Chains A and B, each alone.
Chain A
Amino acid sequence: MTMPSHTAPTPAPAAVPARPAVDWPGSLKDAATAAFVALLLTVPLVGLRTVDRPTGLSIEARPDEVIASIVLVFLGRLGLGLIRQGLALPVLVLALAAAAVGLALPMPTQVLRLVLVAGGGIIALRAAITLTTGRSKLSQAERDRRMDRVAAKVQHATKYIAPVAIAFAVALPLTPLADRQLLDIGILLLTYIMLGWGLNIVVGLAGLLDLGYVAFYAVGAYSYALLAHYFGLSFWVCLPLAGVLAACSGVLLGFPVLRLRGDYFAIVTLGFGEIIRIILVNWYQFTGGPNGISGIPRPSFFGIADFTRTPPEGMAAFHELFGLEFSPLHRIVFMYYLILALALVVNVFTLRVRKLPLGRAWEALREDEIASASLGINRTNMKLAAFAIAAMFGGFAGSFFATRQGFISPESFTFIESAIILAIVVLGGMGSQIGVVVATLLVIGLPEAFRELADYRMLAFGMGMVVIMLWRPRGLLAHRDPTILLHGGKTPRVNAGAAR
């Protein structure tokens, strides 16, 4: 598109001229317009709150918040406008001051503090960029190129970081740091990393936007729970079965819809995800309905030993087998290693398959389906394979989830869960394995670290998705290195994906 896409009436020069006259009326008018929009946005929903009273619903006015938001929007917009007109330095000082005020002084609400600090910070950052680069705003392409260079560096550094990170992950439970809470967070993060890597096969490699990945996670979880419940099968029998069942459901669901175009495909997978959830809720006799299934057996030590103090008949106790003091932590540590191993299996699979015809065909399909067909690639089979393999990994993760929680219900498999996994893949940079790890730390790790702000967790999550997409539409660490080189990287390569 070559359409002018800026409606802002301020002139936006490419480089800051020596000392242009500041267009005060224009800037003020622009800021006032923004403030007016803010007024319209906030009056009904922020300014008037519904309150539950014993007599029924009533309403409460909050004019202060409306005024505060209008003032902040006005100042923020004015600041951004002035940065563009060469007043970056004063704006930088003022924005930093605002952020400092937000940090230091007591505020009526946490939100106001957050807005002051974050808003002031962002504007200050903009101003600082303008001061250092002489440009008010990097163009999308330039920003993309710079980020691509960063991503390339990160990916090349992964060669050295990855063994260290894995060694760290392996050593973590053995350190005195490892208490129950830390291990739980570790398990949670690893579960999402595994899911992210699994979905990355479908979304990142094959380019199929799957909005219902959680369905396979659910199939895996319920497979184990139900097989254990009805047939008393052990976790180690059920883990592969759950993978197989999830893969089968992937083929079953995938077969009719794989020839649909991108967006339609996304919506249909969403529909399938919902269908599976609704079935779980409504098939009361079989799945326990909304109450879910509880008392799911915990895994044993590869069927040899049990983690309880007094193991059942015919089973050794883990601590006795290894001559350790009994500790409930043993099982958690075992679970931690289990999910670490499962996640690494997915990772190794993806890294290897990218160099195989299967993986290359997926990437080719992502790039151009018609050209792929013209080379004799069977589109349906390739996509089905991607779908089934990703589903299988989702199934593994699901049965791990079931055995870790000991309780599952359809609540755990809502659309938002799919959206979170997808966000991890897309924010990290589609197809980037390290991106999944970084994005998981951001999306799951950060909110875990700021539990007191739990109310704002999903709000920030949604906003984060939008902001990262605006900032870098291809994802934070999106960068692709060829899977095979002729010259071993000796000849200079131009690698600006943005040029496409």
Chain B
Amino acid sequence: MDYFIQQLINGLSLGAIYGLIAIGYTMVYGIIGMINFAHGEIYMIGAFVALITFLAMGALGITWVPLALVVMLAASMLFTSVYGWAVERIAYRPLRSSPRLAPLISAIGMSIFLQNYMQLLQGARSKPLQPILPGNLTLMDGAVSVSYVRLATILITLVLMVGFTMLISRTSLGRAQRACEQDKKMAGLLGVNVDRIISLTFVMGAALAAVAGMMVLLIYGVIDFYIGFLAGVKSFTAAVLGGVGSLPGAMLGGVVIGLIEAFWSGYVGSEWKDVATFTLLVLVLIFRPTGLLGRPEIEKV
């Protein structure tokens, strides 16, 4: 039972990370109908910015952990979202009206570019970091111990999700965003600056991915330039599982995948956990292509 709860917490925190990345996929797919293949790399950049910020603060002598964490979070979200913006501006915007494959190829190119850009700048070796937030919360008379980092991940994700849902459902920005998702042309005719909304979508997605990157850095304490690929594919799986275009779906999908991975590693063995995820992706697409919370789509004749 204690082992079970341990895995549950592991799965939830991992799922929160996947969910945060998946939101970026789902929003971009919702608004311009493309798979932003470089999104995994954006998350990787988020992790690196967080790491560099922490090291820079260490060099400046700032060691008070709460301040360090807040600065890391802010810096990571800021700089990463600039990357998200730039990727869209450079590689996707000129291709809006191109054949369907062009933006996807461009995105794959961007993803390869960003990976190697990071490898060249920061080196190919993986970057270890000593635990910033050590310590565990023990529950049930010490039978279960949960690290603070994982708890913090779950909490921060919850807070972000609530804030983000409010942003999308209550503000005029969110309304414009949803309008563009329905019909970009019409929204443009009604005075919505569609380009700006699309840019903002990428910025928001990148900011959330940056949070995920920082969380991964804190939980696992080691990152490298290649972490974006696998996390990206899995998060996309999460987005598909939840139903592309649905924000709660993305989060739900992330949690489901996180739990599957955690329990699979915990009870079966960690080597095959990726096969489990990919198999799930295939099965979902075959039997329920619209995902758990997605709207059904009728083939239009």
Tell whether B147 is near chain A: CB-to-CB under 8 Å. no
**Counting CB contacts under 8 A, is A182 at the interface?**
no
- Render A18-62 as a binary contact track against B, CB cut-off 8 A, 1 for contact: 000000000000000000010011011110111010001111000
A45-B52, A50-B55, A278-B274 known; A466+B102 contact, CB < 8 A: no
**Contact of A455 with B59 in the complex, beta carbons under 8 Å:** no
Tell me if B233 and A271 are in contact (CB < 8 A): yes
B282 touches A59 (CB 8 A): no
Question: Contact check: which of B56, B79, B94, B112 meets A458 at CB < 8 Å?
Answer: B112
B102 to A474, Cβ gap below 8 A?
yes
Q: Which of B105-134 contact A (CB under 8 A)?
A: 105-106, 108-118, 120-123, 125, 127-130
B106 & A209 in contact (Cβ 8 Å cutoff): no
- Whether A422 lies near B105 (C-beta < 8 A) is yes
At the interface, yes or no: A175 with Cβ under 8 Å from chain B? no
CB atoms of B233 and A270 under 8 A apart: yes
- Distance from A207 Cβ to chain B, minimum over Cβ atoms (Å): 9
B298 within 8 A of A: no
Q: A5 an interface residue at 8 Å Cβ cutoff?
A: yes
- Complex interface: chain A residues within 8 A of B108 (CB): 419, 422-423, 465
Count chain B CB atoms within 10 A of each CB in A46, A462, A466, A474 and give the residue with the most.
Answer: A466
Binds A, one of B85-93, B154-162, B168-176: B85-93
Query: Which of A43, A275, A279, A461 has the most chain B CB atoms inside 10 A of its CB?
Result: A275
Known contacts A50-B123, A266-B104, A275-B278; A2/B185 CB under 8 A? yes
Residues of chain A with a CB closer than 8 A to B48's CB: 44-45
A419 to B115, CA, bound (A): 14
Interface secondary structure of B, over-half rule? helix
Taking CB atoms, residues of chain A closer than 8 Å to B56 are 48, 59
A126 to chain B, nearest CB (A): 15
In the bound assembly, the distance between CA atoms of A469 and B104 in angstroms comes to: 10
Q: Does B35 have its Cβ within 8 Å of any Cβ on chain A?
A: yes
| Chain A interface main SS type | helix
Q: Which residue of B lies closest to A144 (CB)?
A: B98
Interface size on B, residues (CB 8 A): 80
Q: Which of A59, A263, A456 contacts B59 (CB 8 A)?
A: A59
**Chain A hits for B98, CB < 8 A:** 140, 469, 473-474
- Name the A residues within 8 Å of B264 (CB-CB): none
Interface bracket on A: 35 or more
Query: How distant is the Cα of A464 from the Cα of B105 in the complex, in angstroms?
Result: 11
Q: Which residues of B contact A44 (CB under 8 A)?
A: 48-49, 52-53, 75, 79
* Interface residue? A256 (CB, 8 A): yes
**Contact in complex: A272, B278 (CB < 8 Å):** yes
**Residue-by-residue, is B187-216 near A (CB-CB < 8 Å gives 1, otherwise 0)?**
010000011100000000000000000000
B195 touches A5 (CB 8 A): yes
- A424 to B217 Cα, complex, angstroms: 36
A463 to B113, CA, bound (A): 6
The CA-CA distance from A415 to B226 in the complex, in Å, is: 12
A and B contact pairs by CB, cutoff 8 A, 12 listed: A1-B185, A41-B82, A41-B83, A50-B52, A50-B122, A140-B94, A260-B289, A267-B240, A268-B281, A370-B299, A466-B110, A469-B95
Using CB atoms and an 8 Å cutoff, list the residues of chain A in contact with chain B: 1-5, 7, 37, 40-41, 43-46, 48-50, 52, 56-59, 140, 209, 256-257, 260-264, 266-268, 270-272, 274-275, 278-279, 281-282, 370, 415-416, 419, 422-423, 426, 430, 455-456, 458-459, 461-466, 469-470, 473-474
